[in-house]
Structure 1
């Protein structure tokens, strides 16, 4: 017969085994965990793209998501200006100065983080295979820190911007009611459709005078895109013209923090909810994470 001491040893051994399996599963899930990478872009400058990126990050963070912004607008990097924070390092320091990704992350309000791209992405195409793999291993740590990574691109239809658009899990396209802005937004959609008709493009109308005006633009853009480009747009929402937004920019603070009850803040929260609404996400596409994003980006930049 098994004595009491032997039974106790078996119980302890079984407990240790269950704990080991549990830890292994947890580590395995952590390894598989990847962030949703969203490129925020526009067909032309001056539509409020960067302001939307920052406030979207705030809103997503308030909904319990860990958010990191990569400022990839190399010509007019404005994330730091809107937040009133001067970053000490950029991605260039990760590439050449042996800084790790944690050292170049700047802390923003509401626990959001941001990384200044500097000329980092342009430098990536110069790296050899070993250097690139080292960088990819470093930046992949952002997947462990983030649920959502927002990439704020430059405006326009340059090759660099299009590479960011095509590399992302999904695209958030910002336009305004101005005819030139709508025309340039359609031009960007057309360029995407020529490369990948399955690419997810979600559209926001900024600075609309009314909900009717915004919805009219979203509907017309969706109908024309579907008919002539065979690409399905997803209208994500709109932000109405709001004086509080201008005041917040002058204060170098996100309007979602300075004026949380203004209509622009309410609209950005609605948009955030739609982004996180997995049930209504018809794509069924898995998040591929920042490492895969950068790998695709480098390949696109090299072609």
Structure 2
């Protein structure tokens, strides 16, 4: 029995050493485009595909992952600082093995904390290396200086928008704003709530064109998500739609998006560089005020 336990521990440690933790941020130019629903259902789809996933709700004003999940938050995020809780004590298990951290007011001024709290946050983030294949930040909607600092430390931003002209314009403005702070920051786009494929393709092409022409960026477009009534039904039932309606058109799109991300992750030979770049960038952002 002891030999079996030791072998199991060695296997787990070996997996952790070789796991490439990738950090993504999901953003939108405005609220109401389904950003959190996309974040949650892609995260669950990744977990169902075999990935270890941590989803963190960074929307301090309108945090709603707990509502979409139908779960009660375990601990408020600020207890990492006020009660000296570890980040692992904040993590909750969700459906299909996805792990998540609820949003909270402790995140609202993350880059304006006292130095001891910044250090605590930085040290706790470091502990996540190798624990997960993906760490996904579900960011607040719209432009926010605090959010911008965090987004630009991640490996890539995933912009969620809809075919509506105002949503596309706001989405472009979000990418422009972030790229003005980090000129080489890469984006992928998800066109959500598509009634007709031609509308989704047209919206994607508009974003590709303006990204190339005005931002000098090659925008990656992920599979579009159809406007599916089962999504609204699942929200009312407080169950993620990939769980409640796995055969729905929207759920199939989530699985396609997740499959693309997971294949890229498994084929990458990065020796932990994405996470270390994230941690280095986070440290620079967190403690920039101390040097000025």
- TM-score category of the 2 structures, normalised to the smaller one: 0.7 to 0.9
* Residue of structure 2 in register with 1:3 after alignment: none
Q: Shift of residue 261 of structure 1?
A: 0.3
- Match of residue 97, structure 2, among 82, 97, 111: 111
Whether the aligned pair in 1 keeps the contact of 2:223 and 2:257 (CA below 8 Å) is yes
Query: Against the structure 1 CA distance between its residues 279 and 78, is the aligned structure 2 distance closer, same or farther, given a 3 Å change threshold?
Result: closer
**TM score, norm. by length of structure 2:** 0.86
**1:127 to 2:117 alignment:** no
Give the whole-Å Cα distance in 2 for the aligned partners of 1:44 and 1:50: 12
Give the whole-Å Cα distance in 2 for the aligned partners of 1:62 and 1:103: 23
* Residue of structure 1 in register with 2:6 after alignment: none
* Residue of structure 1 in register with 2:187 after alignment: 201
**1:287 to 2:274 alignment:** yes
Whether the aligned pair in 1 keeps the contact of 2:19 and 2:131 (CA below 8 Å) is no
* Residue of structure 1 in register with 2:228 after alignment: 242
Q: Shift of residue 192 of structure 1?
A: 2.4
Whether the aligned pair in 2 keeps the contact of 1:89 and 1:104 (CA below 8 Å) is yes
Give the secondary-structure state (helix, strand or coil) at the position aligned to 2:130.
helix
Give the secondary-structure state (helix, strand or coil) at the position aligned to 1:276.
helix
**1:251 to 2:244 alignment:** no
Give the whole-Å Cα distance in 2 for the aligned partners of 1:127 and 1:181: 36
* Residue of structure 1 in register with 2:254 after alignment: 268
Q: Shift of residue 278 of structure 1?
A: 2.1
Q: Deviations over 1:49-77 (max 9, x none)?
A: 00001101110001100111110000000
> What stretches of structure 1 of length at least 5 have no aligned partner?
1-22
* Residue of structure 1 in register with 2:204 after alignment: 218
Query: Against the structure 1 CA distance between its residues 193 and 133, is the aligned structure 2 distance closer, same or farther, given a 3 Å change threshold?
Result: closer
* Residue of structure 2 in register with 1:14 after alignment: none
- Taking only aligned residues, the RMSD between alpha carbons, in angstroms, comes to 2.9
| The 10-residue stretch of structure 1 (288-297 or 81-90) with the greater mean CA deviation from structure 2 | 288-297
Query: Against the structure 1 CA distance between its residues 296 and 277, is the aligned structure 2 distance closer, same or farther, given a 3 Å change threshold?
Result: farther
**1:298 to 2:256 alignment:** no
* Residue of structure 1 in register with 2:149 after alignment: 163
Give the whole-Å Cα distance in 1 for the aligned partners of 2:15 and 2:98: 23
Q: Shift of residue 298 of structure 1?
A: 2.3
* Residue of structure 2 in register with 1:136 after alignment: 122
Give the whole-Å Cα distance in 2 for the aligned partners of 1:188 and 1:131: 29
Query: Against the structure 1 CA distance between its residues 71 and 253, is the aligned structure 2 distance closer, same or farther, given a 3 Å change threshold?
Result: same
Query: Against the structure 1 CA distance between its residues 45 and 65, is the aligned structure 2 distance closer, same or farther, given a 3 Å change threshold?
Result: same
Larger Rg: 1
Whether the aligned pair in 2 keeps the contact of 1:137 and 1:291 (CA below 8 Å) is no
Give the whole-Å Cα distance in 2 for the aligned partners of 1:48 and 1:300: 33
**TM score, norm. by length of structure 1:** 0.83
Runs of 4+ with deviation above 3 angstroms:
25-34, 130-135, 279-282, 289-294, 299-303
Q: Shift of residue 144 of structure 1?
A: 3.4
Q: Shift of residue 273 of structure 1?
A: 1.5
Query: Against the structure 1 CA distance between its residues 38 and 279, is the aligned structure 2 distance closer, same or farther, given a 3 Å change threshold?
Result: closer
Give the whole-Å Cα distance in 2 for the aligned partners of 1:117 and 1:257: 22
Give the whole-Å Cα distance in 2 for the aligned partners of 1:301 and 1:60: 37
1:174-193 maps to which residues of 2 (within 5 A)? 174-193=160-179
Give the whole-Å Cα distance in 1 for the aligned partners of 2:73 and 2:89: 10
